[in-house]
Amino acid sequence: MTMLPAHSTPKKLGLVIDLDVCVGCHACVVSCKEWNTGGYGSALSDQDPYGADVSGAWLNRVHTFEVVPEGGEIVGEAGDARIVHFPKSCLHCEDAPCVTVCPTGASYKRSADGIVLVDEDKCIGCGLCAWACPYGAREMDLAAGVMKKCTLCIDRIYNETFEEVDRVPSCVRTCPANARHFGDLADPQSDVSIMVAQRGGMDLMPEQGTRPVNKYLPPRPRKSLADSARGLPLAENTDGAKGFFAWLDGMLDRI
């Protein structure tokens, strides 16, 4: 069924990604591929895996951006350019355009928890949903000829044979910096909702009208490099030297 749920889903499961914390290690990218190549649906194939033109289907990728404030090209002038690592996977949009364009009913949004999934047995691999997603969150598996996307690790989060701590998406469990959080964004009392409220969590490309469930926490304002440098002792400055160094300083001055 490619009609979206008629009402807002009671649960909105999704991720909150902290851009202040992500160190760009790509651990979540690898653990996602590892988990999902053996989990839901067909394996995530790679093409030319050992060749020069390796490519493949991945459900989570980390981009890295440079953000330069006005006048920031000159170090210490008006804030500095900074690097922001930017993990991106399906945002499980409330108004998911990828779902409504699907001709077969393979793409759907679950009415219970809002997770957007592809039923691979119905998918004809037309690729229209990947065109409709403005975020590039869907990639065709060229071996199986079906569309792949983040399932929010549907086979982990409800898996009661797992310990509680493991019932989160693989990327969240793996992140060594704790930059990724999983929870119900429909519940204002959930940890993720509180985090979003406190840190000003934001939507990506709100102008596309997709109403993403996943939120991104902006990087915290940073002290400029020049401000930090002011506090450092400079090599020429010997004020405050004590004991042997004070004596040596005095002797050397006299020579």
Which residues, numbered 55-114, are part of the site for another protein (CB under 8 A)?
A: 55-58, 61-70, 72, 79, 81-84, 86, 88, 97, 99-106
Q: Which is nearer to ligand SF4, 80 or 184 (CB)?
A: 184
- φ and ψ at 56, to 5 degrees? 180, 175
First to last CA, the chain: 89
3-state secondary structure of 245: helix
Q: 83 pairs with which residues across the strands?
A: 66
* Identified binder of ligand SF4 from the candidate list 39, 72, 127, 219, rule CB under 6 A: 127
Tokens 């999902």 found at: 36
* Identified binder of ligand SF4 from the candidate list 15, 44, 57, 102, rule CB under 6 A: 102
* Identified binder of ligand SF4 from the candidate list 9, 107, 170, 174, rule CB under 6 A: 107
Q: Which is nearer to another protein, 144 or 177 (CB)?
A: 144
Would you call 223 exposed, middle or buried from its count of C-beta atoms within 10 A (0-12, 13-18, 19+)? exposed
User: Tokens for 28?
Assistant: 């979540």
Rule CB under 6 A: say whether 91 interacts with ligand SF4: yes
Tokens 């009913």 found at: 105
Which entry of ligand SF4, another protein, none binds 11, CB below 5 to 8 A by partner kind? none
Tokens 């902006």 found at: 218
User: Tokens for 121?
Assistant: 């047995």
Alpha carbon 128 to its chain centroid, in Å, reads: 24
Q: Which is nearer to another protein, 57 or 157 (CB)?
A: 57
* Identified binder of ligand SF4 from the candidate list 4, 32, 90, 172, rule CB under 6 A: 90
Question: What is the footprint of another protein within residues 110-169 (CB under 8 A)?
Answer: 122-128, 130-136, 139-142, 144-146
CB 167 within 8 A of CB 156: yes
Binding mask 7-36 for another protein (x = CB under 8 A): ------------x------x--x-------
What is the size of the binding site for ligand SF4 (CB under 6 A)?
29
